[in-house]
Amino acid sequence: MWSMLTESNTQWVLFSTMILGIAAGAIGCIAYWKKQSLMSDSLAHASLPGIVIAFLLLGEKNFLVLTIGAAISALIGAVFIQWVISTTRITEDTMMGIVLSVFYGLGIMLLTIANRVGGGEQSGLDTFIVGQAAAMVYTDVITMLSLAIAVILIIVVGFKEWKIYLFDPQFARGEGLSLTFMNGLYTLALVTTIVIGIQAVGVILIAALLIIPPVSARYWTQYFKMMLLLSGLFGGLAGVIGTLISTFGSGLPTGPFIVVIATTLFVISLIFGKEKGILINYIQFKVHQKQVNLNQLEERGESR
Amino acid sequence: MTHAAWIIVTASLVGVSCGLMGVFLILRKMAMMADAISHTVLLGIVVAFLVTREISGPPMLIGAILAGLLTAFLVQWLHSMDIEQHASMGIVFTTLFAVGVILIATSVGNAHLDINHSLMGEIAFIPFNTTELPIVGEIPEATALLIFAFLIVLLFIVGFYKEWKITSFDPALAASLGIPVLLMHYLYMTLVSITTVASFDSVGAIMVVAMLITPAASAYLWTDKLSIMLVLSGLFGVISAVTGYYIATWIDTSISGAMAFAAGLVFLICFVCSPKHGLLSKVIRPIKSEV
């Protein structure tokens, strides 16, 4: 069992899911503050038809091409959501639900066709649904790694810009920062993170890797920089441990294990977190209660 | 009835029950809750299977209802702990879904439940699994479950029409009139879970979201009256289901996927052509006002 760890392929896969987790945790923070956590879920599902169309056009599973297909399809979904909510009275959450399910339905339609006509080549396409990190080969890992590192760099280099863009858009505009450009960059980074994560985590669960770490990080800090770091750390941990567990079992899907680890970290943060964690809240409540009781006793003593 | 007729009847039942439920989901701005519940219902079904070791109506229904209520409850609870609604929803459903998938992958195996089946549904196999009912005779089990779900949905919508209307449009007024708003919320979540699990076998976990939200959103573009919206939404649901079936047989592909796709097409047509909110109306109206 442990001998698998020394295999170079496993090491590469572990390393790449770690970097993926860090990228997802970091971009997830920005999505969290834009109140768009569920958008990542919607875009992840919307990428499925792109993957299958890219495969049908190319006839083989080239990770880079499939990723580009996924990104185009997810971007179409994002544009359609924006278009409908800006022209009709349909709300954002409704539109996210529609794009999510209809694009996914289209993806399943195409996937059924691909399974019929694809011969043996398509056999791995199903793994895009619940994720199978072990199915990645060396070139996939390299593509995934470089794109994930690019996303992390975008966030780190533009940290100051992201911060004012999120917390004070008016000031950002005053400073000459183009909000349209930042919105575009944000959507691009979000879509990139989602589509490179699909192979490892799957279209259904990749959203969790963007949603859960930022919320967990929120329980430890009030500073955006710390939140980004912690969220990246939690994401990376979830990626590595989840992949490890799924590698030990034969043919176990990776995505669900990554999500369960991320949730475990969340529950730990929820209970023991320094900021508003359940335990600290309870202790503060008890201390406060004691103080109030003491004060009341003193008052009573004085009045007597 | 023939094989194809049963499939069309079953698909239409999915369309009409989901269409009716979806109207309130949209009006209460809880569309993503449908997404959340449709994912967590999987866990309910898996646990029900692990406990009873059989896939049949009643245990599945109970498991699904419990899972749906658990989702609604957990989302509310996390929200009360200062977590944004969207984030708490995202945490709850992905986690419960992940646990469901892990249980399927490890302990249940491929014997009766498998991940692909529960995500995509397999409406084509529905006519093979029949059950005997009094009066009507032999009908497919999934269809019987759907008829049951449809009747319950209809009963609650007709029976509490006024209450739903007030709670959906003005919760504060509803509360001041003495309508138990929280109870109605959980009752509603129960109904969504029942509809979801009944449709689950036919269209799977994710396409049920398409059937819940899309027809209702399409209907929302046509009318301002709740009663008309309900009728239209049910109608759009049936149209999507039947069209989806024919698209699927035409190009030989997944029926449930085609149903979701057809629902999307119906929405697209409404988005373009609707007299009040559609794209065309925005082009035509300025011309009229100029004249």
Residue A113 with chain B: CB contacts under 8 Å: 251-253
A107·B97 Cβ contact <8 A: no
- Of B286, B268, B126, give the one whose Cα is nearest residue B201: B126
Q: Stretch B30-44: mean pLDDT, rounded?
A: 85
Per-residue pLDDT band for A301 (boundaries 50, 70, 90) equals: confident
Q: Above pLDDT 70, what percent of chain B?
A: 85
Distance from CA of B270 to the nearest CA of A (A): 11
Q: Tell me the residue type at A34.
A: K
CATH architecture of A2-207: Orthogonal Bundle (1.10)
Q: Give the CB-side neighbour count of residue A210, counting CA atoms within 13 A.
A: 36
Q: Where are the domains of chain A?
A: 2-207
Q: Stretch B213-218: mean pLDDT, rounded?
A: 93
Q: How far apart are CA B187 and CA B160, in angstroms?
A: 11
Q: Stretch B58-80: mean pLDDT, rounded?
A: 86
Per residue in A56-96, pLDDT (tens digit) is 888 777 788 888 999 999 999 999 998 898 888 888 889 99
- Of A54, A52, A64, A204, give the one whose Cα is nearest residue A125: A52
- pLDDT at residue number B229: 92
Q: How far apart are CA B130 and CA B143, in angstroms?
A: 9
A102·B260 Cβ contact <8 A: yes
Range name among A244-253, B64-73, B130-139, B141-150 with the lowest pLDDT average: B130-139
A54 pLDDT higher than 60: yes
B90·A211 Cβ contact <8 A: yes
Per-residue pLDDT band for A28 (boundaries 50, 70, 90) equals: very high
Q: How far apart are CA A66 and CA A60, in angstroms?
A: 9
- pLDDT at residue number B289: 60
| Eight-class DSSP state of B136 | T
Range name among A171-175, B131-135, B196-200 with the lowest pLDDT average: B131-135
- pLDDT at residue number B183: 87
Which B-chain residues 150-169 have CB contacts (< 8 A) with chain A?
none
- A160: buried, middle or exposed (CB in 10 Å: 19+, 13-18, 0-12)? exposed
Q: How far apart are CA B12 and CA A22, in angstroms?
A: 45
- pLDDT at residue number B235: 94
Per-residue pLDDT band for B106 (boundaries 50, 70, 90) equals: confident
Per-residue pLDDT band for B113 (boundaries 50, 70, 90) equals: low
Closest CB from B90, B106, B220 relative to A38: B90
Distance from CA of A70 to the nearest CA of B (A): 18
Q: Is B103 on the interface with A (CB under 8 A)?
A: no
Q: How far apart are CA B118 and CA A140, in angstroms?
A: 29
Q: Stretch A256-271: mean pLDDT, rounded?
A: 92
- Of A130, A124, A126, give the one whose Cα is nearest residue A256: A130
**Interface test mutation site (partner A, options B29, B82, B83, B91, max chain A beta carbons within 10 A):** B91
A205·B29 Cβ contact <8 A: no
A252·B106 Cβ contact <8 A: yes
Q: Is B57 on the interface with A (CB under 8 A)?
A: no
Q: Stretch B38-67: mean pLDDT, rounded?
A: 81
Closest CB from A91, A101, A207 relative to B214: A101
Closest CB from A97, A112, A214 relative to B253: A112
Q: Stretch A144-153: mean pLDDT, rounded?
A: 91
CA angle A147, A135, A70 (to 5 degrees): 45
Bridge partners (DSSP) of residue B130 are: B140
Per-residue pLDDT band for A233 (boundaries 50, 70, 90) equals: very high
Contacts of A46 (CB under 8 A, 6+ apart): A73, A74, A76, A77, A78, A99, A100, A103, A104
Beta pairing, strands B130-133 & B137-140: antiparallel
Distance from CA of A251 to the nearest CA of B (A): 9
A113·B95 Cβ contact <8 A: no
| Nearest residue of chain A to residue B107 (CA atoms) | A252
Mean pLDDT of chain B: 83
A27 pLDDT higher than 90: yes
- pLDDT at residue number B112: 55
Q: How far apart are CA B260 and CA B238, in angstroms?
A: 12
Which two tokens mark A173? 């505009």
A215·B91 Cβ contact <8 A: yes
Q: Stretch A22-31: mean pLDDT, rounded?
A: 93
- pLDDT at residue number B247: 92
| Eight-class DSSP state of A239 | H
A105·B257 Cβ contact <8 A: yes
Q: Tell me the residue type at A135.
A: A
Q: Are B215 and B17 in contact (CB under 8 A)?
A: no
Which B-chain residues 191-250 have CB contacts (< 8 A) with chain A?
206-207, 209-210, 212-214, 217, 220-221, 248
Distance from CA of A87 to the nearest CA of B (A): 8
Q: How far apart are CA B285 and CA A265, in angstroms?
A: 55
Q: Above pLDDT 70, what percent of chain A?
A: 92
Q: Are B9 and B196 in contact (CB under 8 A)?
A: no
Q: Stretch B203-223: mean pLDDT, rounded?
A: 87
Closest CB from A89, A104, A204 relative to B97: A204
B271·A88 Cβ contact <8 A: yes
- pLDDT at residue number B265: 94
Per residue in B147-166, pLDDT (tens digit) is 888 999 999 988 888 888 88
| Nearest residue of chain B to residue A254 (CA atoms) | B102
Contacts of B80 (CB under 8 A, 6+ apart): none
The model's pTM is: 0.86
Q: Stretch B166-188: mean pLDDT, rounded?
A: 86
Residue A53 with chain B: CB contacts under 8 Å: none
Q: Is B183 on the interface with A (CB under 8 A)?
A: no
Which B-chain residues 16-35 have CB contacts (< 8 A) with chain A?
26, 29-32, 34-35
Q: How far apart are CA A261 and CA A245, in angstroms?
A: 10
**Interface test mutation site (partner B, options A32, A53, A85, A88, max chain B beta carbons within 10 A):** A88
Between A and B, how many residue pairs show a Cβ–Cβ distance under 8 A?
Answer: 200
**Interface test mutation site (partner B, options A39, A43, A89, A93, max chain B beta carbons within 10 A):** A93
Per residue in A157-173, pLDDT (tens digit) is 988 889 988 888 888 88
Which two tokens mark A165? 């863009």
- Domain spanning B3-206 has what CATH number? 1.10.3470.10
Q: Stretch B16-38: mean pLDDT, rounded?
A: 88
Rg of chain A on CA atoms, in Å: 22
Q: What is the ipTM of this complex?
A: 0.87
